[in-house]
Structure 1
Amino acid sequence: MLPILFRDEHLVAIDKPAGLLVHRTALDTHARRFALQMLRDQLGCHLYAIHRLDRGTSGVLLFALSSEVARVVSTMFERRRVDKRYLAVVRGHPPMQGEIDHPLSRCFGDDEAGGDAATPTVQQAITHYRRLATIELPYAVDPYPHSRYALLELAPLSGRRHQLRRHLKHIAHPIIGDTTYGKAAHNRLFRSLLGCQRMLLACTELRFAHPVSGVPLIVVAPLAGEFLRLVERLQWAATLPPAWLPGGVATADG
């Protein structure tokens, strides 16, 4: 059963686990489980995907119960009327806060194939980040005797494919566990010494006006599993908003 964070007659939001595709995809013909079909089976009704999360990313994933509502909310995403918050663990110690304004060529996600639209185009992409916590571990990686890591809150203003992963690579602070844009040596360290097998990127919060009522809506996916255990082990939990931790308020409006 997929954890449901919010549901009414127009929308449903789940907490997507890491490793689960949103849609069936030609890029992974061996996958048998997909969030969209699993939720359709779970609720017994037709659903429409509004946005996507990469396979390795966990957190808030939003669906509509009608094509009309799906179109409205998709337009809200495109027009930057949805405030998105992510949490990531990255290599190194970035500045306390910053803006990454770096255009990205179009690429396709885990649940898309190419086709006529595969012609590369460069798209504007902006990400804000805020450093929440840091740590230096006594493990040698590459030529350095110690390894530095940071916990970041990320706010993408645009919604490009793999934007956060590519932007953090661009500023030389790649996300831990990212096998495409990350650093293999640091990924191995987290797997072998800290028991963390997943990519450390999670969509923790969406804020937007309800497409029908107009009431402000907040949907939160508290950290869980490997990500939560790592944050607790590194003593970073106190730096997070209470709602992002187990026992916090998962949804709110008004």
Structure 2
Amino acid sequence: MPPSDAPARPASAAHTVRIAEDRDGQRLDNFLLGYLKGAPRSLIYKLLRSGQVRVNGGRCKPERRLEGGDEVRIPPIRLDDPADKGTPAKGLLEAMEASIVFEDARLLAISKPSGVASHGGSGISFGVIETLRALRPRESLELVHRLDRDTSGLMVIAKKRSALIELQALMREEGGINKRYLALLTGRMPDGVMSVDAPLHVGLRQGGERHVQVVTSASSSAGKASLSHFRVLERRGGQSYCEVRIETGRTHQIRVHAQHIGHPVAGDDKYGDEAVNKRLREQVGLKRLFLHAASLEFALDGGKTPYVLNAPLAAELVDVLDRLA
């Protein structure tokens, strides 16, 4: 039985992995994404839905928290050797190197450009983590969290396993990590803070594309509790430039909550207003989602070591605001 951090290679038969004690508390889907390096997310969730992955002999949901000593059945699958993918393009390597905004002995923080995925899969060979590993081949780097491909801004990568475990625990705690975003919402938002407490459900469309929606039925248990706070910083060109703070980190949370209150994020081609997006593209050159992860605040070492990490608003979004004035 291989250890949990053994490299996953093409297997002709199912095998079982015993979870190491230092992975206690890790989500099952995140463990599989790390263990089956290169496997598309859609394949991971298909294996889970079909019951081909089992924990201690039983079927489990993606959000199942693993415990040290658990035994995870890995079905026979074939994955391409990472060496077959080559290396990231020079431009991507340079962009990732230039995106670093903070680093110490245990953490690395970048300001992710829009259009770069957090990790490879589903036709994407190189995301943030693969590119950083190519830049730092002798370091052990792990994603602490993810951002949507079209969202820019702050991402934190752990250089030490202990930091990863502590940060993931903080993410599960209410108020453990303070997350602040900047967004341009379409239309005129009211003054003050608008809090949106609306549960979200992630569904899969044909082809494996994720689509999130608010669960409106009070009796439904399908949605996960989700809370966002929107505050207008200024209004420009009939639109609302806002600070957004989130107390949960659900998939597409800000985008879906903004749509729910009738002020979708500008440039959002999935949940946004097509006519407004077209007008902003033609008039002020907005060619991407106007959503930026601006800052994270947390403390490691049981609260003894505070971190305040910031990523300045992407240059192309600053230009859009200037043109809207």
- Shorter chain as denominator, the TM-score bin is 0.7 to 0.9
Query: 1:132 aligns to what?
Result: 233
Q: Secondary structure at the match of 1:122?
A: coil
Contact 2:292 2:314 in 1 (8 A): no
Query: 1:144 aligns to what?
Result: none
Structural mapping, 1:193-212, within 5 Å: 193-211=283-301
Structure 2 regions of 5+ residues with no counterpart? 1-93, 211-220
Q: Deviations over 1:78-120 (max 9, x none)?
A: 2131101000001111112210011111357xxx988xxxxx9
Structure 1 regions of 5+ residues with no counterpart? 115-119, 137-147, 236-254
Deviation at 1:212, TM superposition (A): 7.4
Contact 2:235 2:241 in 1 (8 A): yes
What letter corresponds to residue 122 of structure 1 in structure 2? G
Larger RCO of the pair (alpha carbons < 8 Å, separation 6+) = 1
Distance 1:87 1:69, change over 3 A: same
Query: 2:133 aligns to what?
Result: 40
Query: 1:169 aligns to what?
Result: 259
Contact 2:236 2:321 in 1 (8 A): no
What letter corresponds to residue 201 of structure 2 in structure 1? S
Query: 2:197 aligns to what?
Result: 101
Distance 1:166 1:211, change over 3 A: farther
Deviation at 1:40, TM superposition (A): 1.3
Report the count of equivalent residues: 213
How far apart are the structure 2 equivalents of 1:64 and 1:204? 19
Contact 1:25 1:113 in 2 (8 A): no
How far apart are the structure 2 equivalents of 1:107 and 1:211? 37
Q: Secondary structure at the match of 1:40?
A: helix
Structural mapping, 1:6-21, within 5 Å: 6-21=102-117
How far apart are the structure 2 equivalents of 1:175 and 1:4? 26
Structural mapping, 1:1-254, within 5 Å: 1=94, 2=96, 3-26=99-122, 29=123, 31-44=124-137, 45-79=139-173, 80-96=175-191, 97-107=193-203, 121-136=222-237, 148-211=238-301, 214-235=304-325
Deviation at 1:182, TM superposition (A): 0.3
Q: Secondary structure at the match of 2:270?
A: coil
What letter corresponds to residue 121 of structure 2 in structure 1? T
Q: Percent identity?
A: 31
More displaced 10-residue stretch of structure 1: 68-77 or 85-94? 68-77
Contact 2:201 2:222 in 1 (8 A): yes
Q: Deviations over 1:48-85 (max 9, x none)?
A: 11111000000000010123321210111121311010
Q: Secondary structure at the match of 2:255?
A: helix
User: TM-score, normalised on structure 1?
Assistant: 0.79
User: TM-score, normalised on structure 2?
Assistant: 0.62
How far apart are the structure 1 equivalents of 2:319 and 2:252? 25
Larger Rg: 2
